Amino acid sequence: MSCEHLICARCAGPVVEGRCPTCRAARAEVHYPGTFGISPVLIGALILALTLLIALKFGLS
């Protein structure tokens, strides 16, 4: 998703220009999602690695 076509409800300007604090907050949310900066691919890789470790531990016992 991009903010190129979004219009701010507060100032009626394009969000991409960031005219008001609401625009700037919306633009930051669209371009920088997540609070920890962990990508969905990294989360998937971590889940896969943990699943493999658990399978190896219980499979060899």
- Write down the pLDDT at residue 26: 83
Q: What's the pLDDT tens digit per position in 11-40? A: 999 888 889 999 888 888 777 655 566 778
3-state secondary structure of 14: strand
DSSP 15: G
- Write down the pLDDT at residue 60: 63
- Which residues have C-beta within 8 Å of that of residue 24, sequence separation ≥ 6? 18
- Which residues have C-beta within 8 Å of that of residue 4, sequence separation ≥ 6? 14, 16
Domain locations in the chain as residue ranges:
15-60
Its pTM stands at 0.46
- Tell me how far apart the alpha carbons of residues 28 and 15 are, in angstroms, rounded to a whole number: 10
Q: What's the pLDDT tens digit per position in 40-57? A: 888 899 999 999 999 998
